[in-house]
Amino acid sequence: MSYGLVAIAILWTFLFGYLIVASIDFGAGFFSFYSALTGHENKIHNIIQRYLSPVWEVTNVFLIFFVVGLVGFFPDAAFYYGTALLVPGSLATVLLAIRGAYYAYNTYGSSKENNKIYMALYGATGLLIPAALSTVLAISEGGIIYLADGKVQLDWNNFFTNPYTWSVIVLALVSVLYISAMFLSYYANRAGDEVAFGVVRGYALIWSGPTILFSFFAFLTLNRQNPEHFEAMLDISWMFIASFLCFLFAVYGVWKRRWLGLSFIMVMLQFAFAWYGYGRSHLPYVLYNYINIHESVTNDTMAITMITAFVLGLCVLIPSLILLMRLFLFDANYILGKSGKKG
């Protein structure tokens, strides 16, 4: 395996990690706000808060890790994406900033249990951020970033009139709500909170339909945007079929109110198959026609050093993450709200 392939596999995995944890986080923020609007807040708010509080900081790191890793392994990516994405990148940063800060204000700083304005900011940005970030996927397919007089430019017109752009955005939105509701169903069930479970189970089932629908739609519109990539996807179509089967199992489980832990694992597998299938068929390009993993990868010494650093880093990270999950995800007393009030 070439260094480029190892590097992109590492980065893609981190982005997948971000996809899952951030979806839970973004969706939960939105549900929390929505339930406050509709007067259901006491039903699901506590469950959401108990899960989110200890992990919110970790979510952000996954994204930073990806960005830093991408720039480190593929410095050309910094040049092309950096120049072209100044405006959307800055907007996404501002949204992330507002969301992070106001979450902390509401959770740790507010005297009232729920400050409506803080919650609104938190909920709304939770949907805008995935929409903003997902546009990078559309841009990576090519045809939107171009070079003119040696300067990197972004073709806004092509970007906004492109059906693929919009199908990716909508897919990101509905997936966030779906993944989050599926996770919260599992979490509420573990906590033995029947009322919350009823509410989030409803959300999960409602959002499952649009998720699979827009997955198909994104798949079809890709054909128009980048036929080469589309062909490559057809070659590994088994991955997408596997993804669909996982989806069916997960929704069936939640529908039957059974095997909720397994169902959430199936949700993760559903997205893993789709995500790695999409990523694998995107290769060798990181940005279609401009950056590919063989030519743009950083020098060998740096690649080896960074991969080594990554492996050593994982030796610290994985035990820490397991500890975090054991304390807050799999600890019955904590989930039930019997221990671990903030200091």
Among positions 13, 49, 79, 163, the unique one binding other proteins when judged by CB under 8 A: 79
Q: Does 310 contact other proteins by CB under 8 A?
A: yes
Eight-class DSSP state of 299: P
Among positions 8, 11, 63, 267, the unique one binding other proteins when judged by CB under 8 A: 63
Stretch that binds other proteins, among 199-207, 254-262, 282-290, 307-315 (CB under 8 A): 307-315
Which residues between 25 and 54 bind other proteins (CB under 8 A)?
53-54
Helix (H, G, I), strand (E, B) or coil at 84: helix
Residue 337: which region, alpha, beta or left (left: phi > 0; alpha: psi -120 to 50)? Answer: left
Which residues between 279 and 298 bind other proteins (CB under 8 A)?
298
Could you tell me which of 96, 61, 79, 21 has the C-alpha nearest to residue 264? Answer: 21
Among positions 2, 37, 38, 68, the unique one binding other proteins when judged by CB under 8 A: 68
- As a whole number of angstroms, the distance between CA 269 and CA 11 comes to 18
To other proteins, the closest distance from the beta carbon of 168 in angstroms equals 20
- Answer yes or no: are the C-beta atoms of 260 and 254 closer than 8 Å: yes
Number of residues that bind other proteins (CB under 8 A): 72
Among positions 147, 261, 320, 332, the unique one binding other proteins when judged by CB under 8 A: 320
Q: Does 337 contact other proteins by CB under 8 A?
A: no
To other proteins, the closest distance from the beta carbon of 175 in angstroms equals 22
- Answer yes or no: are the C-beta atoms of 164 and 60 closer than 8 Å: no
- Sign of the dihedral through C-alpha 244, 218, 20, 65: positive
- As a whole number of angstroms, the distance between CA 125 and CA 34 comes to 13
Q: Does 336 contact other proteins by CB under 8 A?
A: no
Helix (H, G, I), strand (E, B) or coil at 111: coil
Among positions 220, 324, 332, 336, the unique one binding other proteins when judged by CB under 8 A: 324
- As a whole number of angstroms, the distance between CA 47 and CA 328 comes to 12
Helix (H, G, I), strand (E, B) or coil at 148: strand
Which residues between 86 and 105 bind other proteins (CB under 8 A)?
86-87, 89-94, 96-98, 100-105
Among positions 17, 27, 29, 69, the unique one binding other proteins when judged by CB under 8 A: 69
Q: What is the signed CA dihedral for 85, 89, 91, 94, rounded to 10 degrees?
A: -160
Which residues between 157 and 196 bind other proteins (CB under 8 A)?
none
| Residue 115-154 contact track with other proteins, rule CB under 8 A, x = bound | ------------------------------------xx--
Which amino acid appears at position 73 of this protein?
F
Which amino acid appears at position 198 of this protein?
G
Could you tell me which of 229, 273, 284, 277 has the C-alpha nearest to residue 2? Answer: 284
To other proteins, the closest distance from the beta carbon of 82 in angstroms equals 3
Q: Considering all CA atoms of the chain, what is the largest pairwise distance in Å, rounded to the nearest integer?
A: 64
Q: Does 261 contact other proteins by CB under 8 A?
A: no
Of the pair 24, 250, the CB lying nearest other proteins is at: 24
Among positions 234, 323, 332, 336, the unique one binding other proteins when judged by CB under 8 A: 323
Among positions 9, 49, 75, 223, the unique one binding other proteins when judged by CB under 8 A: 75
